[in-house]
Amino acid sequence: MINFNYETDFNIENEDELATWITGVISNEGYKLEEINYVFCDDEYLHKLNLEFLDHDTLTDIISFDYTVGKLIQGDIFISVERVEDNAKDFKVDFYKELQRVIVHGVLHYCGYKDKSETEAALMREKEDFYINQLA
């Protein structure tokens, strides 16, 4: 089950389509969905989580808490809509494309992909692009 929660005025209009897409990503990667909770919030909300749980005093677009057991995906993904808007402007891309990238980015982490090294980040970006193109 995929749940969309809002701690800001932002709302996703196509929740069912996105949930089907996310479930397909998980299945395609050889995993099974248990539950993912997406929480869309503002910078202040996510910054507090970043300080409290990760001891990072920075703004970020996404924080994910992974409760995956084996091949059963579970987790909470917090996304700052403000940060996604700013990143979309900075990267000169459509807001919804950047939002899709962040949404799938969290799921790919749950599927075992990392992005700490250049090689890992390149593979992550390749996977993000692949799945975003499937949604288009």
pLDDT one-digit tens code per residue, 115-124:
999 999 999 9
pLDDT band, residue 135 (cuts 50/70/90) = confident
56 appears as a binding residue in the annotation: no
Domain borders along the chain are 2-135
- Provide the CATH topology of domain 2-135: Collagenase (Catalytic Domain) (3.40.390)
pLDDT reported for residue 40: 98
115 appears as a binding residue in the annotation: yes
43 appears as a binding residue in the annotation: no
Closest CA to 82 of 37, 38, 39, 41: 41
Phi-psi region of 112 (alpha: psi -120 to 50; beta: other; left: phi over 0): left
